[in-house]
Homo-oligomer: A and B are copies of this chain.
Amino acid sequence: MTPAETPRSGAVGSDPAGRPRLAFLGPEGTFTEAALRRLVDPAAADLVPASSVPAALAAVRAGEVDSAVVPIENSVEGGVSATLDDIGSSEELQIRAEVLVPISFVLVGRPGLALADVRRVSTHTHAWAQVRGWMHAHLPDAEFTPASSTAAGARLLLPAERADDAGAAPVVDAAVCAPLVAEQTGLPVLAEGIEDVPGAVTRFVLVSRPGPLPEPTGADKTTVAVPLPHDHPGALREILDQFATRGINLSRIESRPTGEGMGRYSFSIDLEGHLAEERVGAALAALRRSFPGVRFLGSYPRAERRAVHVPPHVTDEAYRRGADWVRGILAR
């Protein structure tokens, strides 16, 4: 994270020396840690592992940390519900930056165990979903033991870890985890690149309490959540119209239930552009009029740094010209 992007240095939650405190979905060795290392200099920050996405975000809201790094979308599994639902409701937070982390899995085993002898495999449910095909082909009879994270699953293979768990450790032979975990633990790698869909990536975001927006870079995105009113069948079309009439592309649109009953949705949307750009500000103001529950979740640079194409009729300059024209008439 460049200094410009650092959210409110010295804010509540930083330690006496002013070092930012960052929560991440621990334990160490997860993909979130890899994401975090791309967003901040680990040596310059205090890293605070959290047990879950809601716990990480709660720590931000409570001021215990300055920011949290959480996954928001996976190219295979889709939106990360825990993140989308948490930032889409509850006290408002703001995304400050995003990063893409390639997702590749290895199978690590108990020292001395051969691949053919693996009977029970542990990992996080999401990771399991991404290696199901490989497992079916290579270890069709292996049973799955869910773990709270890929790193936690791997650690079940460590002698020390098992002792810690008071002799109650499950009989796990192998674990699916990130290559980083294999490095950190020294566990033997039984197979690598076992993900069913090669090239998968997960998008992580840096989230903090609401504050100043990063400056527009010309390659930004804006995230909003729009709860659809009930019994308004045209609402989604209306939302899309508000963006389309202003030449704004959406790079992600996902429905999430609001939890208020079957058929009640909120749409989580990433659009191309920064709130400080006229067309984006106008579109969000329009959404706010029709959908008062709309929530602004941040304008920040796109991970790909690819410049946003802005059609000539909706540039800031075009907006200025249009507004000036109207103002000129009213001032006659």
Contact = CB atoms under 8 A, between A and B. Distances in A.
Interface stretch (A13-21, A31-39, A110-118, A195-203): A195-203
Contacts of A241: 237, 241, 244-245
Contacts of A77: 81, 257
Contacts of A217: none
Interface string A162-195: 0001101111000000000000000000000000
A132 B259 CA distance: 14
Contacts of A1: none
A290 interface: yes
A148 B38 CA distance: 33
Contacts of A211: 332
User: In this complex, which of A171, A261, A289, A314 has the most chain B Cβ atoms within 10 angstroms of its Cβ?
Assistant: A289
Contact of A148 (B146, B261, B286): B146
Interface string A260-304: 111111000000000110000110111111100000100000000
Nearest to A211: B332
A240 to B, nearest CB: 5
A104 to B, nearest CB: 15
A285 B330 contact: no
Contacts of A314: 289
A100 B165 CA distance: 40
A307 to B, nearest CB: 16
Contact of A321 (B237, B249, B289, B313): B289
Contact of A318 (B169, B233, B265, B289): B289
A168 B166 contact: no
Contacts of A290: 313
Interface stretch (A22-30, A42-50, A59-67, A68-76): A68-76
Contacts of A286: 245-246, 322
A6 interface: no
A9 interface: no
A198 to B, nearest CB: 11
Contacts of A83: none
Contact of A197 (B129, B168, B234, B259): B259
Contact of A213 (B199, B244, B329): B329
A275 B169 contact: no
Contact of A255 (B129, B254, B288, B330): B254
Contact of A281 (B148, B261, B330): B330
Given A237-B244, A249-B233, A261 B199 contact: yes
Interface of A: 54, 73-79, 81-82, 100, 125, 129, 132, 144-148, 165-166, 168-171, 197, 199-201, 203, 210-213, 233-234, 236-238, 240-242, 244-246, 249-257, 259-265, 275-276, 281-282, 284-290, 296, 313-314, 318-319, 321-323, 325-326, 329-330, 332
16 contacts: A75-B257, A77-B257, A78-B256, A79-B255, A82-B129, A125-B125, A165-B171, A200-B259, A201-B261, A213-B332, A234-B244, A241-B245, A255-B255, A281-B330, A285-B319, A290-B313
